[in-house]
Amino acid sequence: MKNNSLKNLGRRQFIQQSSALTGALVIGMHLPLTSQAATGDAGKPALANAWVQITPNNQITLICARSEMGQDVYTSLPALLAEELNLPLSMIRVEIAGVAPVYINAMLGGQITGGSTSVREAFDKLRTAGAATRTVLVQAAAQRWNVSAADCKAMNGKVTHSSGKSATYGELAADAAKLPLPEKPALKSPANFMVIGKETMRRLDTPSKVAGKAVYGIDVKIPGMAIASLAQCPVIGGTPTSFDALAAMKVSGVIKVVQISDGVAVLAKDFYAARKGRDALKITWNEGPNANLNNAVVRKSLEEGLSKKGAVIKTVGNPNASVASGKPLSAQYFLPYLAHSTMEPVNCSADVSNGKCRIIGPIQFQQGGQAVAAAAAGVKPEDVTIETTFLGGGFGRKLELDFIRQAAEVSKVAGMPVKMLWTKEDDITHDFYRPMSIHKVDGVLDANGQLASLKAKMVSQSVTARAFPGFVKDGFDPFMVEGSNNITYEIPNLEITNVITDTGLRVGYWRSVSNALNAFAIESFVDEAAKAAGKDPVAYRMAYLSKHPRAKAVLELAVKKSGYTPGSKRFGVAQMECYDTYSACILELDPLAKETTVKKITFVSDCGITVHPDQARAQLTGGVIYGLSAALSNEITIVNGRVQQNNFNNYPSLRQNQVPVVEVHLVPSQEKPGGLGEVGVPLVAPALVNAIAASTGKRIRELPIKA
C-alpha cells in the first residue's frame, strides 16, 4: 500500500500544495499534473496528481486520503471521482495515501479519519479533481485531432469525437499532463449523476475481504519479522522498574525480551510463544499516580464540577430571568466510561533500521503516527513511512498513537522488524476511554407547559485538552459542545455550559464523541418536560422545530414509519442534528415481554446527498446497534487504578439474537452531504429511557440500564 504519487513533485509544487492547506478547502486546481510517460512503461502513471493516477494502459487510481474501517471510504470516495470522470465505479482502483500535507482533512486540521467528515470534506474536492482531469483529457484529445473540445466527449474511460475518433484516457494521459488544470472546472448537476446516489453501487473492498485477500494490520508480514507481545502495567500510566526474563526465555520459540518506556515485550516466532513467554515474565511495576483511582473518586470530582462556572458555550435570551407562574424542572444525568472495543485489537508493525522507520498498521491519524514514530525511533519525520492497512474497526481508538510508538520502540531496541499484537484483554484494559460525564439540566415551563428557558451544564474530562491542547482555550473544548451547541429546539431563553474536569484517567474520542453524552441529557430532559406538561412527546418536540424544517421532516417520517401512536406506552422518541445530518429515532418496546425488551427501532435521517445509499443505511444500522449495546450494558469501572472489564464476557456487544428489528429510512435531499458513520449512535439511549419511562413511569437518568 505504498504511495509514490508525490515522488516527482518539485519543491515549488510541494509548497503550492502545502500553502493550499491554510484555506478551508484543498481542491484539484492546487494539484499540479506531472508527466511520467517518458519511460514508456504502460503500468506507470503518465498523468498523476495527489488524487488521481492514470497509466497508459488505462488504469485509473484514486489515492484515498482516509482510512477504511468499514465506513465505506474505499467506495464512496472513488464514487466522487468516478462521477466526474464519467467512469463506472468498477474502473477505479484504490490506493491508501501515505503522509503528505495535501492529504490533511480540512475539517479537522490533520490527516485524520474521524468526525464523520470523510465524504463531507471530500465531496467538492474529489469531484473537482475528477472534473479537472476530465477537462484536460478532453483538451488533449481535441489538440491531437485538431478539433473543437466541445465536439469531444469523455465517457467510460475514452474520449470520443463526433467523427468517430477515440482514445482511452490512458492513451491521452501524457499529453493531458502537460496542460494546465482549469481553476474552476464545471461540476455535474446532481440531476445528471450516474454513480452518486445509485442503489446499484457495490463496495469495491468486498471481493478482497470475501476472498481473504484484504490486508488488516494483524495480517502484515515483513521479512525477518518477530511477533511481539507487550506486557503493560495493570494501572494505566504505570511503568516497569525491573523484570526477570529467565522463565520467558525458556519458552520454545521466544527470541528475546526487551523493555520499552511503558512495558516489557517478548519477541517470538509466533504469537502463541510470545504470549506464553510474556505470561512467564516477572515484572516490578511503578504504578504511578493512578494506583488509587476508582469510579467513586472520579464521580465525586465531576459532581463538584457542577458548582463551578465553566465556559458558557451558547446563550439565547435571558436564561436567568424568572418566568411568571412558571414551573421549575430540574434533572441530573450520568454516563459512564466506555471502551471502544473494536473487533480487531490494537496492533502495529514496525521496522526501524538504517536510519529509517517503516510503520504498517490500522491507523486513523497518519501525521501524528509519523511524528510519534520518528521520536520513538530517533529519526527524522521524513525518514518515517506510514502504510495504512484496513482497520478492523476504529471508532476513534486508532486515532491514538500509543501503539505506533510502542511498536517503533520495540523494533529499535530489539534491532529487528516486529509485529506487535495486543490481546483483547490488553485492548479493553488499556484503552483511551469515552469520558465519564455528569449533566445538570434546569428548565422553566410557562403557563402553557412550554419550555420558557433551559440551562444545560455538562461536566467531564476533555479529550481535546489531552490530544490537541492548542484547540482548548478559556475552558472551551470545541468537541465537548457537540450535541448541545447545535440544539435544534427554538427555546426563547437558553444557556449551554461546559466544565472541564481532569479525572486522571486517559480519555479518547469515542464514536460520536460528545453527541452521545449531550443528546442523552437533552433528549431525556425534553421528554421529562413533555411529561410534566401533560403533552405527547412527539407533538411537544414539533412545537420547537419551526425553524428547522429538516428536523421536523425526519421526525414526521419516523412517526409514520414506526407506527407511533400518541398516548401509547411502548414508544420512546429522540431527535437531533449530528454532523450536519438530521435524524429521529423512535424505539418500540415489546409489551408482551416480562423484562424490558426492545422490539423495533425506526431510524430516519436526512443526510443531504447520499453518495452510497445502501452503505448509508448499513452505517446507521451499525451505529444504532453499537449505541444500544452501550446503553444496555456497557461501562468501564476502575478499582485501585485497574480496569475491571477485559473481554466480551464482561463488556458485551449485542449478540445476533438480541438485536431488535432496525429499520432505517433516508429522506431524499439535495443538501450537501452530512456525516453518517457516527450518527446512528447518540439517539438510541435517550429513545430507550424515554420508552421505559412511558411504559413503566420509571425515569432512568444513569447509564447503563442493565435491564
* CB-count exposure of residue 529 (10 Å: 0-12, 13-18, 19+): buried
Domain for residue 702, yes or no?
no
Task: State whether 537 and 628 are in the same domain.
Answer: yes
Task: State whether 672 and 544 are in the same domain.
Answer: yes
The pLDDT of 305-334, averaged and rounded, is 93
The C-alpha cell at 151 is 465536439
Give the total number of structural domains in the chain: 3
The confidence score (pLDDT) of residue 4 equals: 34
Q: Please, which residues have CB within 8 angstroms of residue 391's CB and are 6 or more apart in sequence? A: 67, 68, 69, 70, 216, 217, 342, 344, 362, 363, 364, 398
Single residue among 145, 179, 210 that ends a domain in this structure:
210
On the question of pLDDT at 35 being above 90, the answer is no
Task: State whether 258 and 378 are in the same domain.
Answer: yes
High-pLDDT (> 70) share of the chain, %: 94
Domain that holds residue 175: 11-210
The C-alpha cell at 185 is 472546472
Domain for residue 652, yes or no?
yes
Domain for residue 41, yes or no?
yes
Provide the 10 A C-beta neighbour count for residue 280: 18
Domain for residue 523, yes or no?
yes
The pLDDT of 292-320, averaged and rounded, is 96
Residue-wise pLDDT for 666-702, tens only, equals 999 999 999 999 999 999 999 999 999 999 999 999 9
On the question of pLDDT at 595 being above 90, the answer is no
On the question of pLDDT at 396 being above 70, the answer is yes
The confidence score (pLDDT) of residue 672 equals: 97
Domain for residue 6, yes or no?
no
Task: State whether 65 and 148 are in the same domain.
Answer: yes
Residues 471 and 477: beta-carbon distance below 8 Å: yes
Single residue among 163, 195, 210 that ends a domain in this structure:
210
- Helix (H) or strand (E) holding 305, with range, is helix 295-305
Residues 471 and 300: beta-carbon distance below 8 Å: no
Starting at the earlier edge strand, list the strands of the sheet with 493-500: 311-316, 493-500, 451-460, 437-445, 327-335
Task: State whether 42 and 16 are in the same domain.
Answer: yes
The confidence score (pLDDT) of residue 572 equals: 98
Task: State whether 505 and 365 are in the same domain.
Answer: no
Task: State whether 400 and 492 are in the same domain.
Answer: no
As a whole number of angstroms, the distance between CA 620 and CA 675 comes to 10
Task: State whether 70 and 47 are in the same domain.
Answer: yes
As a whole number of angstroms, the distance between CA 75 and CA 61 comes to 12
**Nearest alpha carbon to residue 662 among 618, 614, 621:** 621
The confidence score (pLDDT) of residue 324 equals: 76
The confidence score (pLDDT) of residue 314 equals: 96
Q: Mean of the per-residue pLDDT values for the chain?
A: 93
β strands within 529-655, DSSP E: 571-578, 581-589, 598-606, 638-639, 642-643
The pLDDT of 513-524, averaged and rounded, is 98
Task: State whether 395 and 441 are in the same domain.
Answer: no
Instruction: Give Dmax over CA atoms of the chain in angstroms.
Output: 84
- Residue 59, SS3 per DSSP: coil
As a whole number of angstroms, the distance between CA 578 and CA 482 comes to 8
Residue 549: asked if its preceding bond is cis (omega within 30°), the reply is no
On the question of pLDDT at 636 being above 90, the answer is yes
* CB-count exposure of residue 463 (10 Å: 0-12, 13-18, 19+): buried
Residue-wise pLDDT for 446-472, tens only, equals 999 999 999 999 999 999 999 999 999
Task: State whether 374 and 511 are in the same domain.
Answer: no
Domain for residue 426, yes or no?
no
On the question of pLDDT at 22 being above 80, the answer is no
Domain for residue 428, yes or no?
no
Task: State whether 331 and 271 are in the same domain.
Answer: no
The confidence score (pLDDT) of residue 45 equals: 81
The confidence score (pLDDT) of residue 707 equals: 53
Residue 46's pLDDT band (cuts 50, 70, 90): confident
| CATH code of the domain covering residue 320 | 3.30.365.10
On the question of pLDDT at 27 being above 80, the answer is no
Task: State whether 192 and 306 are in the same domain.
Answer: no
Residues 100 and 6: beta-carbon distance below 8 Å: yes
In the numeric block, the cell 490537541 is attached to: 468
Single residue among 210, 245, 263 that ends a domain in this structure:
210
The confidence score (pLDDT) of residue 20 equals: 32
As a whole number of angstroms, the distance between CA 506 and CA 499 comes to 17
Residue-wise pLDDT for 547-590, tens only, equals 999 999 999 999 999 999 999 999 999 999 999 999 999 999 99
As a whole number of angstroms, the distance between CA 87 and CA 61 comes to 12
The confidence score (pLDDT) of residue 39 equals: 39
Domain for residue 36, yes or no?
yes
High-pLDDT (> 90) share of the chain, %: 91
